[in-house]
Structure 1
Amino acid sequence: MRALILGIIFAFGMLSQAVAQDHKLLIIDSYHKTFSWTESYTLGLNKVLDKSIHVSRFEMNAKKLPVSAHQRKADEAFAFYKKVKPDVVLLCDDIALNHMLPRLQHENIDVVFLGVNGDPQPLIERLNGPVRVTGVLERPHFYRSLSDVIQLYNQPIKNIKILFDDGPTAKINTAYLQSQANLFSKLNQTITRIERFTTFPDWKKAVLEDDYDVLFVGSYQTLRDGMGKNIDANQVITWTNQNTKHPVFAFWKVAVGEGMAAGGYVLDGEKHGIHAAVYIHKVFAGMPADHIPISVGHQGTGIYSKAEFAQLGLTPPREWVPIR
């Protein structure tokens, strides 16, 4: 016990000393600061990161810009990195990771990532420079959310429709989801269909169809109008709630609330931010990033909107918690 206490005191002393050195952190975000996922993980980061850390930020704005612009934004991000000269780089989500790690591989820098849906190992194994990498994987709980929702009903649910946009992250997630959806359909005698859309008009057509009993929404932030302009995410989820003929559920916390999706077993960006901030502090305390195991983030939480559940006449599972 005495050894354990001494170890904790020593670790805390190292952390305090590291923080006192006014370390510099550069956050390279795949998206933009007003994007709901970014807001939620930033809240988690701010709860843990010491106030003395100097934080710089670069936004790749990938939800609004076309894919053809991502390379240019990555070049700008790398130029900003050279200017800032941070001690640690935090790469947020798959687009930042996939574009920035190859650019950072020859830098003597510690990199932490969060919100990554794909498998980063093949990319990390191809790196041939001194960069050191760790991070927090994002693994949506598709099967658990589907399972929890069908148990809300006293009658069998035969048709489930799942909608995503067609952004890079959606392509990764739907590939991961397909195997879970196939297993779910087999075990529960349901038809579970996954559809991806580039434009909001096509998304609307899918919502208005009467070929499902329950609707799930995945990501929808890259949807565009007929002229190629990005549609505001709040507009998409609000319109979906108002125009669907059947209940709407979600896989991410940012989509749940009054006038939005009714609930789901979801991922919480705030907890991902907290997890990543702990890793960042470990690096500042002297531990190389590649000595910290890559881990899977928060295991999920069942949440629901009281207003939406009341309107639907549903009783939430006992372990689900109300929000807003």
Structure 2
Amino acid sequence: MFIHIDTLNENITRVVYDYRGDRPGNSVLISDEFRPCGDSLPGQYEICGGRILFRNRQSEVVLQEIGHELAEKEVFRYYLDGAPVVKRKQTANGEVSYVENIRRESAGSAFEGKIVFDVDEGEWICGLGQHEDGTYDYNGGSEYLYQANMKISFPFVLSSRNYGILVDTESAVIFDCHHGKMTFTVDTTNNLSYYVITGENLDEIIGHLRDLTGRAPMLPRWAFGYIQSRERYCTAQELADTVSMFRKSGIPIDCIVQDWFTWEDGLWGEKKVDRGRYPDLEALIEELHENNVKLMVSIWPNMGEGGSNVSEFRAAGKLLPNSTTYDAFDEEARAIYWRQCNEEWFSAGTDAWWCDNSEPFSDADWNGAE
């Protein structure tokens, strides 16, 4: 196994393990604009007795990697067996389509990777995204990092010892931190790659993380206020009455969310509203704005049969093979989707989008199948 260690600047060190000997490039997690310093910076790490010791600018050891592993595993691809046989099913997230006649074939091999670090008993470990399970300090806990309805997974942890670890992978990951060991198990990868970020304080570490992964745009000021949402408001009048109630009660509110089912019955995901329940979008949004409240609207990538939106996508050949979800990787498909959003909602003054249903290829999974 080959090891590559690069000191990218005085606060960021990259470690890569692989069996090919090549120096791999970055994953999509890393910003194209990030530029290493280009000069060797000794003293940030030391290999000692099979461990890697990472030091801060004061030469203090803040982290130790105590183990790593790459175990070969077989990987597979799925192919259509003839013309697609598509079956449709109604779920809580709308209509989902399945292709029945697929076959699995071996696509060679990759690796399951594992990285292990020392952790102090009283050390505070946070991060990993948003998982709605009430865990803030992961020292003594575990987490599954993958895409699900109520999970936002990010393979980064922040420590009270003033370091951060970013695992450079697009794979599912199992995080475990028990008995003084912090372990990242990467499900499928070609190599093991991670970054150690040090700093004087947690804010500085987050700043270097932003340098490494890209700077998120600053949200508008109202987005940091109170956003009111429920499952769901059914009419324009209900939205307006709710905002009015908040104002009369003296309860601060900055935004109200219009959740799903603004379309006519049976036309799931249609970006044209049911005029019986939402007769005048411009008047509604104007009233909300007069009350100094913004409107966020739920929009969906999958569309039920029978609506003009899905018909336009099908005529243009811009649906994914499951036949109900638009191809967001296609530039023309994105242009069609935006135009459909703009025709009624955005042109009427909508302030924000809730891009709903990030799991359009399976049954509703609100608990996270593990």
TM-score tier by shorter-chain length is under 0.3
Higher relative strand content: 2
Q: Which has the higher contact order (CA 8 A, sep 6+)?
A: 1
Larger Rg: 2
Higher relative helix content: 1
